[in-house]
Amino acid sequence: MSIKKNIVRMGSVLTILLALLTGTVPRPVADGFGVEPLPDIEKSSPSICGDCNNDGSIDALDFALIKQYIADSAHGYNSTMDLNADNSIDAIDVSIMKQYLMGKLTSLPYTVPETATKWVGTWSTAPQLTEAANMPPSPGLSNNTLRQVVCVSAGGSQLRLKFSNEYGNSPLTLNSVHLAESAGESSIRQGTDRVLTFSGKEAVTIPAGKTVTSDTLDYSLTKLTNMAVTIYFGNVPAALTGHPGSRTTSYLKPGNAAGSLSMSGAAVTEHWYVLIGIDIFAGDSCKAAVALGDSITDGRGSTTNGNDRWTDRLAWRLQENTATSKVSVLNQGIGGNAVLSGGLGPTALSRFERDVLQQSGIRYVIIFEGVNDIGAGGSQAVATNLINAYKEFITKAHARGILVYGATITPFGGSQYDSAAHEQARQTVNNWIRTGGQFDAVIDFDAAVRNPGNQKQLSGSYDSGDHLHLNAEGYKKMSEAVDLTLFSK
């Protein structure tokens, strides 16, 4: 490095160190005697926590990188900037780096004390590429307004929302995003509407393949409440990120109707698009439980707009039970999903990091998936491979301090999957779940909903009609089979 560059670098470092004491950091500039341009964090491959520019040291330039990263919401997750290992990069990481550079902390990553607050998911859905049959109806999303309704589990006073363009083939622009309490159908409750911002701005453009998180919003969020998220879109890619199995009605209207109290005359669709999560800022006693599954977890057979999936019922039980009232439930089911290969959406093996480990405040995961693998293959080799996949899930989750509960696969006698080989594979998997000793606990959905007179079939009172998926009463029974004390650990 030349003498001039050394002088520039030393001046930059001194400038940023001085700024640590004042609480401000200058934004990098391209030339002159400001901070040198920071490296492309997407292309570098650092491995040491805190060494964000991979230069072998942790210094004020790394502090500036984290600040820049948060200001530029287009970047994806970068583990070297996650200084408290909570799968999120936010103001807490800025504070930790500041304390480290001032000598108040001696090592990274730093575990935040038990009394600290943190982000915890209160609602989520698993994103996938939207199939042609599930695209938005006319007039489409571009330059139009979409209102989507979701039911949160835990409440809080501060929150943030997450949006995804993971499967998009071009940038996605959100001109304006509003959050309000739903008043039923397309209406919102007057006086509850708030506008979200992104790095202080109302509009945000999400590059293809990326996700974005809103700024923190002060909001009195009540537990178990239907919330309306209304997006006025700009440009929208042809390939959309969404979740087809919403089991709730979304409302689409031409032009900008983001602040409207009602969207009468709107086109309707039973799909979600772009929105993937809501987090609350809560005390350490708050925790999230993720349900990883397929269409039975996604809620096929449940009541549209009824919020009576088994995960919804479980969320209600947890919130109403004093000992577990600070535990939220995140539904990461995808209809038609498989664990190993094929199916709809990314396999459970490929999405486990994203849909489980990267969820905010995760403490528990319920693994309830495998019926589509058995239905498509049906051999004992499939059963063995499913068991190996469960072992992989357990190992990865335990490494993060997450408890893993295994749920037995429910009966499918009389359905399209019915065969002797398929039933044998199901029994092999269920026997391992019950007796393998590797899950932290077992939730026996099979025993809860099977027909006592023919254990290969669902009980008739719980069968939606296709002998594979359950009805609302069946999902209620499944939720009642979950021991709530598992969520006091």
pLDDT of 42 reads 42
Q: Which of the following CATH numbers is that of domain 285-489: 3.40.50.720, 3.30.70.20, 3.40.50.1110, 3.20.20.240?
A: 3.40.50.1110
Grade residue 31 by pLDDT with cuts at 50, 70 and 90: very low
Whether 179 and 162 have beta carbons less than 8 Å apart is answered as: no
pLDDT score, position 82: 87
pLDDT for the residue numbered 284: 83
Q: How far apart are CA 210 and CA 162, in angstroms?
A: 11
3-state secondary structure of 61: helix
- Measured CA to CA, the distance from residue 470 to residue 464 in angstroms comes to 5
What's residue 43's pLDDT? Answer: 41
Tell me the percentage of the chain whose pLDDT exceeds 90. Answer: 76
| 333 pLDDT more than 60 | yes
Rounded to an integer, the average pLDDT of 387-415 is 97
Q: Place 29 in a pLDDT band, splitting at 50, 70 and 90.
A: very low
pLDDT in the model for residue 295: 98
Residue 417 in contact with residue 426, Cβ under 8 Å? no
461 alpha-carbon distance from chain centroid: 33
pLDDT grade, residue 75 (50/70/90)? low
pLDDT band, residue 117 (cuts 50/70/90): low
Per mean pLDDT, which range of 37-46, 183-192, 440-449 is the poorest? Answer: 37-46
Is this structure's pTM higher than 0.85?
no
Q: State how far the alpha carbon of 214 is from the alpha carbons of 55, 159, 326, 362, 389, in Å.
A: 30, 9, 23, 20, 34
Query: pLDDT tens for residues 444-463?
Result: 999 999 999 999 999 999 99
List Cα–Cα distances, 223 to 158, 284, 365, 406, in angstroms: 13, 17, 21, 27
pLDDT, position 113 = 52
Residue 67 has pLDDT above 90, yes or no: no
Q: What is the pLDDT averaged over residues 173-179?
A: 98
More confident residue, 267 or 78: 267
Confidence of residue 324 (pLDDT cuts 50, 70, 90): very high
pLDDT 10s digits, 240-287? 999 999 999 999 999 999 999 999 999 999 999 999 999 999 988 899
d(CA 404, CA 487): 11
Domain 3-101 class, CATH top level = mainly alpha
Q: Which pLDDT belongs to residue 20?
A: 52
220 pLDDT tier (thresholds 50, 70, 90): very high
Rg (CA), the chain: 24
Integer Cα distance of 319 and 327 in angstroms: 7
